[in-house]
Amino acid sequence: MKNNWLEHLKEKLKTDQYSSSESERYRHSHDESSHHAVEPEVVCFPESKEDIQAILETARTFGIPVTPFGAGSGLEGQAIPVKGGISLDFERMNQVLKFSPEDMQITVQPGITRKQLNKLINRQGLYFPIDPGADASIGGMAATNASGTTAVRYGTMRDQITDMEVVLADGTIIHTGSKAKKSSSGYHLTGLFTGSEGTLGIITEITLKLHGIPEHVIAASCTFSTPRECAEAAHMILLSGIPILRMEFVDALSISQVNTYGNYGIPERHSLFFEFAGMKKAAEEEAVLAEELLTGLGAENWKVAVDAEERSLIWKARHEMSYAFRHLKGTKVTGGDVCVPISKLPDLIDYARELIEESALVGGILGHIGDGNFHTLIVFDSESPAQQEAAELVNEKLAFRAIELGGTCTGEHGVGIGKRKFQQTEHGAAVSVMKNMKQLLDPENLLNPDKIFE
Amino acid sequence: MKNNWLEHLKEKLKTDQYSSSESERYRHSHDESSHHAVEPEVVCFPESKEDIQAILETARTFGIPVTPFGAGSGLEGQAIPVKGGISLDFERMNQVLKFSPEDMQITVQPGITRKQLNKLINRQGLYFPIDPGADASIGGMAATNASGTTAVRYGTMRDQITDMEVVLADGTIIHTGSKAKKSSSGYHLTGLFTGSEGTLGIITEITLKLHGIPEHVIAASCTFSTPRECAEAAHMILLSGIPILRMEFVDALSISQVNTYGNYGIPERHSLFFEFAGMKKAAEEEAVLAEELLTGLGAENWKVAVDAEERSLIWKARHEMSYAFRHLKGTKVTGGDVCVPISKLPDLIDYARELIEESALVGGILGHIGDGNFHTLIVFDSESPAQQEAAELVNEKLAFRAIELGGTCTGEHGVGIGKRKFQQTEHGAAVSVMKNMKQLLDPENLLNPDKIFE
Ligand SMILES: Cc1cc2nc3c(=O)[nH]c(=O)nc-3n(C[C@H](O)[C@H](O)[C@H](O)COP(=O)(O)OP(=O)(O)OC[C@H]3O[C@@H](n4cnc5c(N)ncnc54)[C@H](O)[C@@H]3O)c2cc1C
Ligand SMILES: Cc1cc2nc3c(=O)[nH]c(=O)nc-3n(C[C@H](O)[C@H](O)[C@H](O)COP(=O)(O)OP(=O)(O)OC[C@H]3O[C@@H](n4cnc5c(N)ncnc54)[C@H](O)[C@@H]3O)c2cc1C
């Protein structure tokens, strides 16, 4: 049977479009999470939606699972082919299909990465602001509803997509929306497929809203004595209505970690990082008002960076935080991704700190505090099951507490493998509705099986 | 059989919770559209989700259709119970369940109207910006994915909702999301139920994001010689990155109509109306930049209104536009709601003008031009089927052209009855997916039957 399906598959593709080499199977067996790696039997490199239809035909005929693979930067094992079968790598589907600067819109294939995309559009004065720390693929970002430091202004991937082309499990090709900026026509399939982690269909085209590069940008940072003070100050900034582009929290331990990693020399205290952006006078006014408000709340070390180099250094450091925890030999990192109403943040961050201390492991806290979203990054010895368990217990307790507070177990990373256990508690009776939708769109459970639901 | 189901229903409700009086049946037979009125057999006034569960139980037992009714301000006949049965009126479910100013969030019952809501929250410095011209209910606005003059900054209803409680056809109660500002957990049911026009479930609770009332607001307007010039100027404003709060287009004919209606004395030329809002200096800078840009493009009659009274007069006029067309005795109004990528607007507006002239009817054009969304308002003699047909032909041609251009037949009003005929052309193969979802969630087709799909 097995050779059978591989033969069936190979007949439809060019010989360089599939590989069962050890290196490709290894490369597609894991993502950036600490979840158990599983190798696919074959990796396919589709070049068109027709290739994908053909691959799905084999999958249906022989009951072979298909797991899409973007840049493999996921943090919940979403791209791991836990049931083997086919890994679908989009690296050859990375073209811009239509760039319409006049409509501030672009249609791309899923394999293009966010940095490649920005390189192409920046010269037109436009940018695509969603920025997970990694250079993720747009397809992967759509599939996980990714966001990042700019969500506080622009929202998440879901808010940026007006249309997707999707190949369904049965080979049907649909468009989920249109090129209009808003629509009240039909059911909102765009929102449904965004964040579905490859379990409902294969995304082959994505139309994104683009944004004008702000005329003027001011970066700033300040420090406080405790994480709680940072959270309270962030809350005050939001209530004040000062329109920030970015507002990030990083605790002292994480800063010392990134200083060691990148030699940044940033003050090793609990810190808030800001970006104010827009018309020149507006951004300047905002920065001044923020400084007044923050120093009134006891902020220290207020520092402003206007020139591009200094600014990008700060944000490079922020984006490297997560890698800074990952670079230690023999260790792994696991992390939570809770998101709660902003008023609950101070308590929840205190609770996270307590849990990390109880676990006796090294762990930092940082996050997109303006959205009520933060991450724990907990380092454990990859050879010690006890340490791994202790690290996971922190995430688990934190996730359940976040749900209790009306929040979510995952603000941006998605469910994948690691957050399946929270779905019933978070979504209750809605889980059956979700499972029915999966059943409706993928009755044979071929598309990324065993993700999101247990 | 019929008495049977009414008896069954009445046993579960208090006697003042249902009515088959002529006046109630009439009131619930129509909305603000020109679609054919149909009376329900009974109107129910639920006071809780348990009441709704009870009503749905009768509906299931006897196969009786149930059509939710908000404020009845819909423009596509969505609330018309075309198959008779039960009209579900939410006027008694209009409470605030939880107001969290500290999280800029509120949870309400669906029957509260947008003006009632704003009255309650404005004193805390917060507002809910989505503003369809009518004082619609929040439930109706969620069910149609309404938007309005502020969508260009804040997006649509869908972007404002983080959670809904929904009673499904089988009586199950689910929550579609959480109280977190963003989430990547589970499938995005919130987006799916928003805009589903009561066909997938009955909304009993809605959690909304609120926004700070801008510190400073400047209203402004200017005129051009042609609608095309207005559209081109609006496009330039968007590309310039000047962050507007509102940008509306109103053609000369519509202005003369509203002048007659409300004695406003506005210059009767093709006009753009703006609002700039934020920190004081920022708003001022934006207004000055916009003026420079617009006068460079040939704008005339640039006028700025800062004081609240003058400002609200302008926006009152804008919100009355639609009523201004409706006040003529013996006439009815029908209107399109197309939305296209912004670069296609100038041509499409020209085309709309042509079509209206061909039809030899009186008709205006106005709309939320910053979103690429505009309305035609065409007046016809309510006794003349030929005129009605001619008016509808304008909408039809315009909708098909908009879809051809990559846009949508409805930017904000929804599908209801009048835009069912465009669904197949706009959504193609996705229509089957949508119909399957309807079938999944409402297998007996009890919830607002015959809407959205033919
Ligand atoms: C250092 C670091 C920092 C990070 N910071 C953030 C952050 O700030 N915010 C954030 O949201 N995430 C963050 N992430 C997580 C990760 O970058 C995101 O989850 C990203 O969206 C994954 O994209 P990818 O292309 O790597 O997808 P992959 O990991 O390859 O796959 C992710 C999921 O998408 C599916 N998929 C991929 N392509 C398709 C397609 N064409 N059709 C259907 N399904 C598809 C896969 O099957 C899988 O389920 C970070 C990761 C790292 C390593
Ligand atoms: C003068 C005028 C100007 C307008 N301007 C705009 C505009 O700028 N933008 C815009 O978007 N619209 C506009 N509209 C249209 C209308 O106001 C919107 O469609 C509004 O959202 C309808 O809300 P409603 O409460 O009146 O709902 P209704 O008309 O009563 O019902 C609309 C739909 O919602 C469903 N529904 C109501 N409550 C529930 C519930 N609790 N659960 C499930 N389904 C429910 C109904 O079944 C129906 O399908 C305008 C209308 C008028 C008359």
**DSSP per position, B341-398:** -GGGHHHHHHHHHHHHHHHTSEEEEEEEGGGTEEEEEEEEETT-HHHHHHHHHHHHHH
Residues 6+ apart with CB under 8 A from A145: A156, A157, A158, A194, A195, A412, A414, B183, B184, B188
What number does the ligand 2 atom closest to the CA of B75 have? 15
A435 falls in which pLDDT band (50, 70, 90)?
very high
Model confidence over A200-255: pLDDT tens digits?
999 999 999 999 999 899 999 999 999 999 999 999 999 888 989 999 999 999 99
3-state class of A208 per DSSP?
strand
Residues 6+ apart with CB under 8 A from B154: B129, B130, B160, B211
Residues B57 and B110 in one domain: no
Element (H, E) at B19: strand B18-19
Q: Which of B91, B207, B413, B448 to mutate to test the pocket of ligand 2 (most atoms within 8 A of CB)?
A: B413
Between CA B372 and CA B182 the distance in angstroms is: 27
Phi first, then psi: give them for residue A398, nearest 5 degrees.
-65, -40
Residue of A156, A167, A185 to mutate for B, most B C-beta atoms under 10 A: A185
Tell whether the model's pLDDT for residue B71 goes beyond 70.
Answer: yes
Element (H, E) at B203: strand B202-209
Asked whether B144 lines ligand 2 (CB < 6 A), one says yes
List CB contacts (< 8 A) between B183 and chain A: 145, 339, 408, 410-411
Residues with CB under 6 A from ligand 1: A 31-32, 67-75, 78-79, 90, 110, 132-134, 136-137, 139-141, 143-144, 146-148, 197-198, 202-203, 322-323, 412-414, 448
A7 to chain B, closest Cα gap in Å: 31
Model confidence over B106-124: pLDDT tens digits?
999 999 999 999 999 999 9
**Complete edge-to-edge strand list for the sheet that includes strand B173-175:** B96-100, B105-108, B202-209, B161-167, B173-175
What is the DSSP pairing of strand A211-212 with strand A126-127? Answer: antiparallel
Other CB atoms within a 10 A radius of the CB of residue A84 amount to 15
Other CB atoms within a 10 A radius of the CB of residue B381 amount to 15
DSSP assignment of A313-332: HHHHHHHHHHHHHH-STTEE
Question: Is the CB of residue B184 less than 8 Å away from at least one CB of chain A?
Answer: yes
CB contact under 8 A, B184 and A146: yes
Q: Return the C-alpha torsion angle A189, A191, A192, A197, nearest 10.
A: 130
Q: Which two tokens stand for residue A8?
A: 């069936």
Residues B288 and B223 in one domain: yes
Using alpha carbons, select from B308, B72, B139 the residue that is nearest to residue B213.
Answer: B308
Model confidence over B20-39: pLDDT tens digits?
999 999 999 999 999 999 99
Residues B111 and B198 in one domain: yes
Residue nearest to atom 20 of ligand 2 (CA): B141
Q: Which two tokens stand for residue A88?
A: 């679908």
Boundary (domain end) residue, out of B57, B72, B89:
B89
Residues B116 and B41 in one domain: no
B155 to chain A, closest Cα gap in Å: 8
The answer to whether residue A292 is domain-embedded is yes
- CATH number, domain of A312, equals 3.30.70.2190
Nearest chain A alpha carbon to B163:
A406
Between CA B59 and CA B80 the distance in angstroms is: 17
Q: Which two tokens stand for residue A274?
A: 């800001």
Question: Is the CB of residue B44 less than 8 Å away from at least one CB of chain A?
Answer: no
Residues B103 and B203 in one domain: yes
Question: Is the CB of residue A174 less than 8 Å away from at least one CB of chain B?
Answer: yes
Nearest chain A alpha carbon to B438:
A187
Candidate from B181, B191, B337 with C-beta closest to A371: B181
B384 falls in which pLDDT band (50, 70, 90)?
very high
**C-alpha atoms less than 13 angstroms from C-alpha of A434 in its C-beta half-sphere:** 28
Residue A328 has a pLDDT of 75
Question: Is the CB of residue A285 less than 8 Å away from at least one CB of chain B?
Answer: yes
Residues B311 and B226 in one domain: yes
Residue nearest to atom 23 of ligand 2 (CA): B140
Between CA B113 and CA B132 the distance in angstroms is: 11
Q: Are the C-beta atoms of residues A252 and B278 closer than 8 Å to each other?
A: no
Residue B264 has a pLDDT of 85
Point out the ligand nearest to the CA of residue A33.
1
Phi first, then psi: give them for residue A183, nearest 5 degrees.
-160, 145
Residue B323 has a pLDDT of 81
8-state DSSP, A36: P
List CB contacts (< 8 A) between B186 and chain A: 415, 423, 426-427, 430-431, 434, 452
Q: What's the gap in Å between A414 CA and the centre of ligand 2?
A: 33
Boundary (domain end) residue, out of B43, B71, B89:
B89
Packing angle between helix B49-62 and helix B2-10, nearest 10 degrees? 160
3-state class of B143 per DSSP?
helix
Residues B193 and B117 in one domain: yes
Residue B313 has a pLDDT of 79
Model confidence over B301-348: pLDDT tens digits?
999 987 888 888 778 888 788 788 877 778 888 889 999 999 999 999
Between CA B253 and CA B250 the distance in angstroms is: 8
The answer to whether residue B447 is domain-embedded is no
Tell whether the model's pLDDT for residue A370 goes beyond 90.
Answer: yes
Using alpha carbons, select from B271, B168, B198 the residue that is nearest to residue B229.
Answer: B271
Using alpha carbons, select from B86, B127, B98, B93 the residue that is nearest to residue B110.
Answer: B93
Angle ∠(B280,B286,B290) on CA atoms, nearest 5: 150
Residues B151 and B253 in one domain: no
Residues 6+ apart with CB under 8 A from B313: B264, B305
Residue range B202-229: mean pLDDT, rounded: 95
Point out the ligand nearest to the CA of residue A450.
1
The answer to whether residue B283 is domain-embedded is yes
Model confidence over A245-289: pLDDT tens digits?
999 999 999 999 889 888 888 899 999 999 999 888 889 999 999
- CATH number, domain of A56, equals 3.30.43.10
Question: Is the CB of residue B161 less than 8 Å away from at least one CB of chain A?
Answer: no
Residues B205 and B225 in one domain: no
Residue A306 has a pLDDT of 78
* Residue with tokens 């209606």, as numbered in its chain: B261
Other CB atoms within a 10 A radius of the CB of residue A424 amount to 14
Q: For residue B153, what are the domain limits?
A: 96-212
CB contact under 8 A, B407 and A179: yes
8-state DSSP, A109: -
Residues A124 and A185 in one domain: yes
Between CA A299 and CA A306 the distance in angstroms is: 20
List CB contacts (< 8 A) between A159 and chain B: 155, 159
Residue A261 has a pLDDT of 86
Candidate from B144, B182, B415 with C-beta closest to A412: B182
Boundary (domain end) residue, out of B266, B297, B321:
B321
Q: Which two tokens stand for residue A433?
A: 């509705």
Task: Give B 244-273 residues with CB within 8 A of chain A.
Answer: none
Tell whether the model's pLDDT for residue B93 goes beyond 90.
Answer: yes
Residue B16 has a pLDDT of 97
Q: What's the gap in Å between B6 CA and the centre of ligand 2?
A: 28
**C-alpha atoms less than 13 angstroms from C-alpha of A429 in its C-beta half-sphere:** 10
Candidate from A175, A279, A429 with C-beta closest to B428: A175
Residues A76 and A102 in one domain: no
Residue nearest to atom 52 of ligand 2 (CA): B134
Q: How many domains does chain A contain in total?
A: 3
Q: Is B97 exposed, middle or buried (0-12, 13-18, 19+ CB in 10 A)?
A: middle
**Complete edge-to-edge strand list for the sheet that includes strand A161-167:** A96-100, A105-108, A202-209, A161-167, A173-175
**Residue-averaged pLDDT of chain B:** 95
What number does the ligand 1 atom closest to the CA of A320 have? 1
Residue range A9-22: mean pLDDT, rounded: 97
- The interface predicted TM-score (ipTM) is 0.96
The answer to whether residue B65 is domain-embedded is yes
Residue nearest to atom 52 of ligand 1 (CA): A134
Q: Tell me the percentage of chain B whose pLDDT exceeds 70.
A: 99
Ramachandran sector of residue B207 (left: φ over 0; alpha: ψ -120 to 50; beta: rest): beta
Tell whether the model's pLDDT for residue A319 goes beyond 90.
Answer: no
Cα Rg for chain A, rounded, in angstroms? 22
The answer to whether residue A371 is domain-embedded is no
Residue A2 has a pLDDT of 52
Question: Is the CB of residue B413 less than 8 Å away from at least one CB of chain A?
Answer: yes
**C-alpha atoms less than 13 angstroms from C-alpha of B70 in its C-beta half-sphere:** 29
- CATH number, domain of B189, equals 3.30.465.10
Which of A51-55, A275-279, B62-66 is predicted least confidently?
A275-279
Tell whether the model's pLDDT for residue B430 goes beyond 70.
Answer: yes
List CB contacts (< 8 A) between A208 and chain B: none
Task: Give A 194-233 residues with CB within 8 A of chain B.
Answer: 194-196, 200, 212, 214-215
List CB contacts (< 8 A) between B155 and chain A: 159, 182
Between CA B145 and CA B211 the distance in angstroms is: 18
The answer to whether residue A347 is domain-embedded is no
Q: What's the gap in Å between B79 CA and the centre of ligand 2?
A: 8
Packing angle between helix A345-359 and helix A385-404, nearest 10 degrees? 160
Q: What's the gap in Å between A204 CA and the centre of ligand 2?
A: 34
Asked whether B448 lines ligand 2 (CB < 6 A), one says yes
8-state DSSP, A337: B
Q: Tell me the percentage of chain A whose pLDDT exceeds 70.
A: 99
Between CA A293 and CA A284 the distance in angstroms is: 14
Model confidence over A187-196: pLDDT tens digits?
999 999 999 9
| CA separation, residue B113 to residues A20, B119, B134 (Å) | 60, 10, 10
Residues 6+ apart with CB under 8 A from A307: none
The answer to whether residue A340 is domain-embedded is no
Q: Which two tokens stand for residue B62?
A: 């006897």
CB contact under 8 A, A289 and B282: no
Question: Is the CB of residue A76 less than 8 Å away from at least one CB of chain B?
Answer: no
Question: Is the CB of residue A57 less than 8 Å away from at least one CB of chain B?
Answer: no
Residues A177 and A260 in one domain: no
Model confidence over B176-195: pLDDT tens digits?
999 999 999 999 999 999 99
A3 falls in which pLDDT band (50, 70, 90)?
low
The answer to whether residue A188 is domain-embedded is yes
